[in-house]
Amino acid sequence: MSALTSHLRKYTAAPVCHDIQINGQLVGLHDSGVLWWPDEATLIVADLHLEKGSSFARRGIMLPPYDTATTLEKLAAVMDAFDPARVICLGDSFHDADGSDRLPAPYRAMLTTLQLNREWIWVTGNHDPVAPVRLCGETVDEIQIGPLTFRHEPVEQIGATAALGEVCGHLHPAARVRRFGRSIRRACFVTDGSRLVLPAFGALTGGLNVTHEAFSMIFKRRKYSVFMLGNDRLFPFTATRLVGD
Amino acid sequence: MDAALLPNRFQNWFSSRGWSPRTHQLQLVECLRRGQSTLLIAPTGAGKTLAGFLPSLVELDDRGKRKPGQAGGIHTLYISPLKALAVDIARNLEAPVTEMGLPFRIETRTGDTPSHKRQRQKTNPPDILLTTPEQIALLLSDPASEKLFSSLKTVILDELHALVTSKRGDLLALGLARLRQLAPEMRTIGLSATVAEPDDLRAYLVGQPLDGTRALSSLVEVKGGAEPDISILESEERLPWSGHSCRYAMGDIYQLIKQHSVSLLFVNTRSQAEAVFQELWRINEDTLPIALHHGSLDVGQRRKVEAAMASGQLRAVVATSSLDMGIDWGDIDLVINIGAPKGASRLAQRIGRANHRMDEPSKAVLIPANRFEVLECQAALAASKKGDQDTPPLRKGALDVLAQHLLGLACADPLAPAQAFDEIRASETYRWLEWETFEKVLDFVATGGYALKSYEQYAKLRKGKDGLWRIAHPKIAQQYRLNVGTIVEAPMLKVRLVKSKAAGRRTPIGRGGRVLGEIEEYFIEQLAPGDTFIFGGEVLRFEGLRENEAYVSRAQTDNPMIPSYMGGKFPLSTYLAESVRAMLAAPDTWKALPGQVRDWLEIQQDKSVLPSRDGLLVETFPRSNKHYLICYPFEGRLAHQTLGMLLTKRLERMGAQPMGFVANDYALAIWGLGDLSLLFSSGKIPLQELFDQDILGDDLDAWLAESSLMKRTFRNCAVIAGLIERRHPGQEKSGRQVTVSTDLIYDVLRSHEPDHILLQATWNDAAEGLLDISRLGDLLARIRGRITHTALEHVSPLAVPVLLEIGKEPVYGEAMDSLLEEAASELLLEAME
């Protein structure tokens, strides 16, 4: 558990977040890829994709079986730093519908410990459309708290009422910037002030470039900003500075 | 040797053409008759291919026609690295076989062979099958393989020197090991150009005893014909300090083409080929038919060039190594090697392309692109005179290839581990294999080989009560067949011609037009829409990216914005590097050099010092508020880049504030804010310590975690070993998708199981390949106690070429995050204005 303790050390100082407003609510973006909502003491995390490795192994592709451990250790460190009263997992928490059933005992124990004394909300996703088995927490398709709505997939309409205050995951946003002929690609938050897409948190989750047309269904062309995840800080860019893959 | 070895029918055929069989051709018949596997080393034009087939033709003639219904397997396998070569050879064999009325069937089998024909070849095999290493692997994974190969007598391995240098050679070695079991009578014939260590190839050709002694095949060697006529271009023009374009020499090259009937122009990279081709056409006043040939061009276009070349319609072809090998291109009377040869043997093989008759001298002209390359050309010329060779030593077989092979074995038949282990160790490239490693690889194939044994229930291979391993499901065999092979292409994008968007229309890019060819993804990645570059001999404008296609339009300019030279693909051979260092250290040998180069070296001698033969010269000097360190290891770009990474890390820790570095084949330049002259001369940073061998320990390890080269290497290993799929049935997984996921797998695996077999395989690859760590290790050992430091006021003459690379070559060493930060703060400035 040395990785865990090093994470602990890293986050025991009060976590510094990049504060932005979504639909008028002050929320903090954190460089670990989670969203912190101070007024509600709520931590939001998207696309954990737990048990992705074993999901592939079932099909004969033997990805390393360490993804669940890595993701949970990282999550534990973040939880320790923020100590939230409520946690919202924004869907695709498990890579497939049987994922929670396959979850090995030590990780189940670890996850259960994280859930102690907290309100825990599982939002369903396309990978995990059903409630996880043998785990605490309330399962919902989406949930509205104050001016914010939490759902897995963004509503594919720009400027719709439903899009106002929407916080979602699903797309695994990543952005690329170019400097001196070299380019850097990182996972990122994407927002236009009205809605926010979180980066995928899971260890084996790839990213989709924000210039991909999937994002043009939810943000106006070039009218959004990204916050790329760096080591210990976020790097903000406006959409005009980004390049495709 | 007597022609009477041959049946009458053959003797008559030879004499009907006014030929007589050559001694080595008869020797080969004799060796094979005695049951000996044989290596034939002969220069181009010596009738190598016919020599290879002759023993089989004679034997088959002796056997006579197979009776209808008589069961039979393949008698002779011919394996070549290029499928084009297999097809070409089949065509060439047709003449003697039909003219002599020989009673047997010859067929080819490549990736292009229709599936019904491939199926038929399994049930009703031809007598002679011409194919590739991948097809052999596929056939061996078939349960019918035992029957198919049980009567196999001869395996002919063409261009063996080229095959054994890659993982395809490993795959083939494993295939041969299997074939030796299925057909104990089998003999092999290796056909090779001249190599440095013939014994390596001789050992490759035969099964090795397990007692540690080395078995060798017989050897038939044909000494080179006439000595080639090689010269270095002496141009009136000014020799460039750096760069690789050879633009200065285009006028001279054009004259050479005019003076000869057909010239073959070799370059080292695709983009160099593009640039040379374009330059030549710019000055082609007589509109001579000059064509372009490289591996990225559309296949149809390549075939057209090849056909035109063979029928004598062309005066010159600009080509990369895609034309290096075997295929007969008709009467070439001049080879022009543009840029540095990079290796003595490489040059010899290229020159062999000219004049396919071995008793006439081949003619070649070397065109150095810059001053250092003059030295390299001179060294290569001397090596050619002496007949020295610098082909690389035989590879140690790769573990990822072994993994692929084991799965293939299990697909054919239940696998007995101990037996398979002995079978594999009997091949020269895998004789080093230990049981423990073998078990780990087998475990990897079965369940991924993780210390955390969590995938037992999903195992691909299961061990039965009888101790044999079987595939868990027929689907596994299907998966194997789709992933077979060791060539993992760099992710490529199709280049599609569309109408320019620059015309002012803001509509989305229209439906695609013609496909011009394919281009490396990493090249396109650095372009922004509107950038211009050269491809297929034209200046193109990059319009945008759509899925796996780069959309381009014809640009209205002659000057592309993006310099597209991507560096030499081949590292400078150790042998040539040594010769160049020796030449530099001995001024009395400079007489042979052009005046401009001599002057340059004399000024270096005057202003600084000359690098010594075995030591390392380190120069430091200040220049526009920065301090520079230049060293001259002459170990090739790859080793220098790795050294640059490591030195900057170390200098940073030692407080010298390095900012970046750039490397070429000869030198490495690092710059930073700290006064390096002072730090070194005061002893604050002892140079011996900076260049100590322990730099290959922790510093290397730390860097590897981040290195994109390492991740690319890992990706290749993961695909070959079958960890991730090359493609799914019915759906080709695009290269870019594979890239994303393997980077993540690499990170996870590295932090949780650093000893994993796949990381070991990656490390072995990196040590030899992209990072050239083994060579770097040799360098550090060589220069111990032999480092000379000179603190200078100004840049030295020798340092100019590498400094000129700054801005043209990628600059390394700046942390990714600081780059982001800079980009971000620029944005802030923009916002504040």
Q: What is the pLDDT of residues A89-114, one digit of tens each?
A: 999 999 999 999 999 999 999 999 99
Q: What is the 3-state secondary structure (H, E, C) of B733-788?
A: CCHHHHHHHHHHHHHHHHHHCCCCHHHHHHHHHHHHCCCCHHHHHHHHHHHCCCEE
Domain match, B443 and B514 both = no
Q: Which residues of B touch A33 (CB under 8 A)?
A: none
Q: Which residues of A touch B455 (CB under 8 A)?
A: 54, 57, 62, 65
Contact A87, A118 (CB under 8 A): yes
For residue B455, give the nearest of A65, A67, A241 by CB distance: A65
Cα dihedral value B371, B376, B377, B383, nearest 10: 160
State whether residue B815 sits within 8 Å of chain A by CB. Answer: no
How far is B486 from B447, CA to CA, in rounded Å? 21
User: In this structure, which topology does domain A2-239 adopt according to CATH?
Assistant: Purple Acid Phosphatase; chain A, domain 2 (3.60.21)
> Nearest-CA residue of chain B relative to A181?
B526
Predicted pLDDT of residue B741: 67
Best residue in A63, A73, A221 to probe B by mutation, most B CBs within 10 Å? A63
State whether residue B222 sits within 8 Å of chain A by CB. Answer: no
Asked if A206's CB is within 8 angstroms of B448's CB, the reply is no
Q: Which residues of B touch A182 (CB under 8 A)?
A: 526, 810, 819
Domain match, B112 and B174 both = yes
- Domain membership of residue B149 (yes or no) is yes
Residue linked to tokens 């009907």: B16
> Nearest-CA residue of chain A relative to B813?
A182
- Alpha carbon distances (Å) from B77 to B221, B227, B391, B401, B410: 22, 34, 26, 22, 23
Asked if B475's CB is within 8 angstroms of A206's CB, the reply is no
Best residue in A4, A18, A49, A61 to probe B by mutation, most B CBs within 10 Å? A61
Asked if B820's CB is within 8 angstroms of A66's CB, the reply is no
Predicted pLDDT of residue A82: 94
Chosen domain end from B386, B410, B430 = B386
Predicted pLDDT of residue B143: 92
Q: Which residues of B touch A65 (CB under 8 A)?
A: 448, 450, 452, 454-455
Best residue in B483, B715, B719, B752 to probe A by mutation, most A CBs within 10 Å? B752
Burial of B17 (0-12, 13-18, 19+ CB in 10 A): exposed
Listed as ranges, residues in chain B with pLDDT below 50 are 324, 326, 502-508, 563-568, 728-740, 809-816, 827-828, 830-833
State whether residue B781 sits within 8 Å of chain A by CB. Answer: no
Rg (CA), chain B: 28
Asked if B450's CB is within 8 angstroms of A62's CB, the reply is yes
State whether residue B816 sits within 8 Å of chain A by CB. Answer: yes
For residue B816, give the nearest of A61, A104, A184 by CB distance: A184
**What is the total count of domains within chain B?**
5
Contact A25, A39 (CB under 8 A): yes
Taking the complete model, does pTM exceed 0.90, yes or no? no
- Domain membership of residue B562 (yes or no) is no
Asked if A54's CB is within 8 angstroms of B455's CB, the reply is yes
> Nearest-CA residue of chain B relative to A184?
B816
Domain match, B190 and B81 both = yes
Contact B270, B292 (CB under 8 A): no
Domain match, B154 and B198 both = yes
- Domain membership of residue B301 (yes or no) is yes
Predicted pLDDT of residue A9: 43
Q: Which residues of B touch A179 (CB under 8 A)?
A: 819, 822-823
pLDDT digits over B339-378, tens only?
Answer: 888 888 888 888 876 665 656 778 899 999 888 999 999 9
How far is B420 from B755, CA to CA, in rounded Å? 24
Q: Which of residues 732-751 of B touch A (CB under 8 A)?
A: 736-737, 740-741, 744-745, 747-749, 751
Asked if A204's CB is within 8 angstroms of B741's CB, the reply is yes
How far is B262 from B719, CA to CA, in rounded Å? 42
In the DSSP assignment, the letter for residue B797 is: G
> Backbone phi, then psi, for A45, in 5-degree steps?
-140, 140
Q: Which residues of A touch B450 (CB under 8 A)?
A: 62, 64-66
Predicted pLDDT of residue A43: 97
State whether residue B447 sits within 8 Å of chain A by CB. Answer: yes
Asked if A179's CB is within 8 angstroms of B450's CB, the reply is no
Q: Which residues of A touch B819 (CB under 8 A)?
A: 179-180, 182, 184
- Domain membership of residue B602 (yes or no) is no
Asked if B454's CB is within 8 angstroms of A182's CB, the reply is no
In the DSSP assignment, the letter for residue B239 is: P
Determine the 3-state secondary structure of A171 from DSSP. Answer: coil
- Domain membership of residue B595 (yes or no) is no
Q: Which residues of B touch A203 (CB under 8 A)?
A: 744, 747-748
How far is A14 from B360, CA to CA, in rounded Å? 81
Predicted pLDDT of residue A204: 87
Domain match, B613 and B755 both = no
Predicted pLDDT of residue B736: 41
Contact B176, B424 (CB under 8 A): no
- Domain membership of residue B9 (yes or no) is yes
Asked if A66's CB is within 8 angstroms of B753's CB, the reply is yes
Asked if A237's CB is within 8 angstroms of B823's CB, the reply is yes
- Tell me the β-bridge partners of B517: B297, B495
Predicted pLDDT of residue A78: 96
Predicted pLDDT of residue B232: 93
Asked if B823's CB is within 8 angstroms of A65's CB, the reply is no
Q: Which residues of B touch A241 (CB under 8 A)?
A: 823, 827
Chosen domain end from B386, B421, B448 = B386
- Domain membership of residue B591 (yes or no) is no
> Nearest-CA residue of chain B relative to A228?
B820
Best residue in B407, B440, B453, B454 to probe A by mutation, most A CBs within 10 Å? B454
Predicted pLDDT of residue A181: 52
Six-digit token string for B521:
């993804």
**Segments forming the whole domain that contains residue B520:** 492-554
For residue A245, give the nearest of B444, B454, B736 by CB distance: B736
Residues of chain A in Cβ contact (below 8 Å) with chain B: 3, 54, 57-58, 60-67, 69-70, 104, 177-184, 186, 203-207, 228, 230-231, 235-238, 241, 243-245
Predicted pLDDT of residue A1: 37
**pLDDT digits (tens), chain A, 245 positions:** 344 444 444 444 558 899 999 999 999 999 999 999 999 999 999 999 999 999 989 888 899 999 999 999 999 999 999 999 999 999 999 999 999 999 999 999 999 999 999 999 999 999 999 999 999 999 999 999 999 999 999 999 888 888 899 999 999 999 988 765 556 789 999 999 999 999 999 988 888 889 888 899 999 988 999 999 987 889 999 998 888 87
- Alpha carbon distances (Å) from B660 to B16, B457, B673, B675: 69, 50, 10, 15
Asked if A235's CB is within 8 angstroms of B821's CB, the reply is yes
- Give B737 to chain A, closest Cα distance, Å: 9
> Nearest-CA residue of chain B relative to A202?
B744
Domain match, B753 and B780 both = no
Chosen domain end from B221, B250, B267 = B221
Predicted pLDDT of residue B345: 87
- Tell me the β-bridge partners of B671: B628, B660
Asked if B811's CB is within 8 angstroms of A244's CB, the reply is no
State whether residue B603 sits within 8 Å of chain A by CB. Answer: no
Domain match, B431 and B546 both = no
Q: Which residues of A touch B460 (CB under 8 A)?
A: 60, 62
State whether residue B479 sits within 8 Å of chain A by CB. Answer: yes
- Domain membership of residue B348 (yes or no) is yes
How many interchain CB pairs under 8 A, A with B? 112
Amino acid at B235: S
